[in-house]
């Protein structure tokens, strides 16, 4: 889900934002925000660990007020991130509009002499709309500059020197025109380009399911895109249970398993949206009755473990699965990481290789499971899912080493691509 935003027209909201951010005495990790970009990775990590971002937002707002104009661009962009993390997407997009009126370029410097200068092309809108590269380059020698463009936000007059360009725009209905715009630029771009936009366009659920259905050793039910009226009309022809979700929906938002016609009717009455994806539900619970979902990152064609979540419910989410309170599930995830190459990746080698080749992206993330007969059940392939180690180190000590492996593979790919 990556809704865009109209980028034209100044919209000063200092007084409104001040009413949102209340004073707090909680200690902040950043004492003087506003000069440089903090970025997604540290802000999202703080939110994930229960830190109240309100006082930091207040400081950023004060900094923007003291330093109006282009000097406030970083503050507004960080404010936009905070507001999204706090569940205020409309305010977040207003803050992002402010930032983009002052600058389309946002830089996260390398922690050492840059080995690679990476330019990431991004799409204005919500966080889920772009590849979260900041987690892969955090605390590294990769200099990341993020360039925001859209049909109504053309290229700036000058661009920074860079070694590689990465198309970080995710696939969704709202980003289609932006991907087409980037496609016209790729042909004349003076530097190597990773994650070509015409391959990102293959990630729509209906297109990717058609593309991957015949991969040996896999199961991926067809995802049919239907309008609201057509969905009601087709119900007599489907075999229940089915999965229904709004187009461009991710992270389980608006997703249900419908077991009968009554469930679909109730869903349509309660769920907004003109179009939906419908697919067959496959029961993938293991012998012990639990559901296991795996996240795999493909980097330069090679698979890497992202995470493993275990849940009592068919809709597996890492947090709701109780991984933080169940040590036996964390131990299983740790074993999944440790044995990934020799076990999971080895057993599904042909399938994983075929998936990487058919999608053809330099960086790709897949959510999947295993059926009881040992096949790989593909839920979705995406370029904007997050690979991270935000969880508390004392509870998940094995996460950061795994992220470092994934980040190292990403760095190697960038060095090779220069």
Q: Is the CB of residue 257 less than 8 Å from the CB of residue 249?
A: no
Co-location of 299 and 383 in the same domain: yes
Co-location of 41 and 111 in the same domain: no
Q: Is the CB of residue 82 less than 8 Å from the CB of residue 60?
A: yes
Q: Is the CB of residue 403 less than 8 Å from the CB of residue 297?
A: no
Co-location of 392 and 320 in the same domain: yes
Cis-peptide into 241, omega within 30 deg: yes
Strands 164-167 and 193-194: parallel
Q: Confirm whether 208 is domain-assigned.
A: no
Beta strands across the sheet bearing 105-108: 105-108, 142-148, 116-122, 164-167, 193-194
Please provide the size of the chain in residues. 418
Domain that holds residue 40: 1-103
Beta strands across the sheet bearing 275-280: 224-227, 275-280, 242-246, 256-258
Q: Confirm whether 259 is domain-assigned.
A: yes
Q: Confirm whether 402 is domain-assigned.
A: yes
Q: Is the CB of residue 204 less than 8 Å from the CB of residue 210?
A: no
Q: How many other CB atoms are found less than 10 A from the CB of residue 35?
A: 10
Q: Residue 319 and residue 397: Cα distance in Å, rounded?
A: 17
SS3 275: strand
Q: Confirm whether 216 is domain-assigned.
A: no
Q: How many other CB atoms are found less than 10 A from the CB of residue 256?
A: 19
Co-location of 193 and 230 in the same domain: no
Say how far residue 7 (Cα) sits from the centre of its chain. 22
Q: Residue 186 and residue 357: Cα distance in Å, rounded?
A: 21
Co-location of 337 and 400 in the same domain: yes
Residue after which a domain boundary falls, among 280, 301, 316: 280
Run of H or E residues at 227: strand 224-227
Q: Residue 102 and residue 96: Cα distance in Å, rounded?
A: 10
Residue after which a domain boundary falls, among 103, 122, 142: 103
Domains identified in the chain, total number:
4
Both tokens assigned to 201? 């366009």
The DSSP string of 354-401 is: HHHHHH--SEEEEEEEE-TTS-EEEEEEESS------S-TTT-TTHHH
Provide φ and ψ at 285, rounded to 5°: -65, 150
Residue after which a domain boundary falls, among 174, 203, 232: 203
Q: Residue 314 and residue 326: Cα distance in Å, rounded?
A: 18
SS3 175: coil
pLDDT of residue 22: 34
Contact partners, residue 76, CB within 8 Å, separation at least 6: 64, 95, 96, 98, 99, 102
Co-location of 372 and 258 in the same domain: no
pLDDT of residue 251: 67
Q: Confirm whether 400 is domain-assigned.
A: yes
Co-location of 138 and 155 in the same domain: yes
Co-location of 99 and 111 in the same domain: no
Q: Is the CB of residue 78 less than 8 Å from the CB of residue 38?
A: yes
pTM: 0.90
Q: Residue 406 and residue 400: Cα distance in Å, rounded?
A: 10
Co-location of 182 and 247 in the same domain: no
Q: How many other CB atoms are found less than 10 A from the CB of residue 393?
A: 11
| Region for 412 from its dihedrals, namely left if φ exceeds 0, alpha if ψ lies in -120 to 50, beta otherwise | alpha
For the chain, the distance separating the N- and C-terminal CA atoms, rounded to the nearest angstrom, is 31
Co-location of 93 and 2 in the same domain: yes
Residue 345: CATH number of its domain: 3.30.470
Co-location of 93 and 113 in the same domain: no
What are the per-10-residue average pLDDT scores of the chain (418 residues)?
37 37 34 73 93 95 92 96 94 96 96 96 92 97 98 92 98 93 95 98 95 96 88 76 84 84 88 88 95 97 97 84 91 98 98 98 98 96 94 95 98 97
Selection from 50, 93, 45, 101 nearest residue 72 by Cα: 101
Q: Residue 229 and residue 239: Cα distance in Å, rounded?
A: 18
């Amino acid at each position: 889900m990556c809704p865009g935003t109209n980028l034209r027209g100044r919209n000063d909201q200092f007084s409104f934002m001040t009413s949102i951010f209340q004073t707090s005495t909680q200690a902040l990790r950043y004492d003087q925000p506003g000069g440089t970009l903090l970025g997604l990775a540290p802000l999202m990590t703080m939110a994930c660990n229960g830190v109240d971002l309100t006082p930091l937002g207040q400081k950023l707002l004060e900094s923007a007020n003291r330093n109006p104009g282009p000097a406030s661009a970083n503050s507004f962009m960080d404010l936009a991130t905070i507001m999204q993390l706090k569940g205020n997407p409309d305010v977040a997009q207003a803050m992002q509009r402010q930032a983009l009126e002052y600058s389309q370029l946002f830089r996260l410097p390398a922690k050492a002499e840059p080995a690679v200068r990476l330019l990431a092309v991004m799409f204005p809108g919500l966080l889920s709309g772009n590849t979260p590269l900041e987690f892969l380059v955090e605390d590294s020698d990769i200099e990341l500059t993020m360039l925001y463009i859209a049909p109504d936000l053309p290229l700036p007059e000058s661009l920074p020197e860079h070694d590689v360009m990465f198309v970080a725009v995710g696939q969704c209905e709202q980003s289609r025109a932006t991907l087409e715009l980037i496609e016209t630029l790729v042909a004349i771009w003076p530097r190597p380009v990773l994650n070509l936009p015409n391959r990102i366009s293959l990630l729509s659920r209906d297109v990717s399911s058609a593309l991957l259905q015949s991969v040996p050793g896999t199961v991926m039910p067809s995802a049919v895109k239907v309008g609201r009226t057509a969905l009601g009309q087709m119900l007599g022809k489907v075999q229940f249970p089915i999965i229904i979700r709004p187009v461009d929906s991710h992270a389980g938002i608006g997703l249900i398993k419908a077991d009968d016609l009554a469930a679909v009717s109730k869903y349509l009455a309660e769920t907004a949206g003109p179009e939906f994806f419908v697919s067959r539900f496959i029961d993938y619970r293991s012998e012990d009755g639990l559901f296991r979902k795996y996240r795999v990152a493909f980097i330069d064609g090679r698979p890497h473990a992202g995470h493993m979540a275990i849940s009592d419910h068919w809709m597996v989410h890492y947090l709701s699965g109780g991984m933080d309170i169940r040590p036996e599930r964390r131990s299983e995830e740790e074993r999944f990481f440790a044995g990934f190459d020799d076990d999971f990746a080895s057993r599904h080698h042909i399938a994983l290789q075929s998936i990487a080749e058919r999608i053809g992206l330099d960086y790709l993330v897949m959510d999947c499971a295993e059926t009881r007969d040992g096949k790989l059940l593909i839920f979705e392939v995406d370029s904007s899912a997050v690979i991270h180690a935000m969880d508390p180190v004392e509870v998940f000590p094995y996460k950061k080493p795994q992220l470092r492996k994934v980040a190292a593979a990403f760095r190697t790919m960038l060095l090779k691509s220069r």
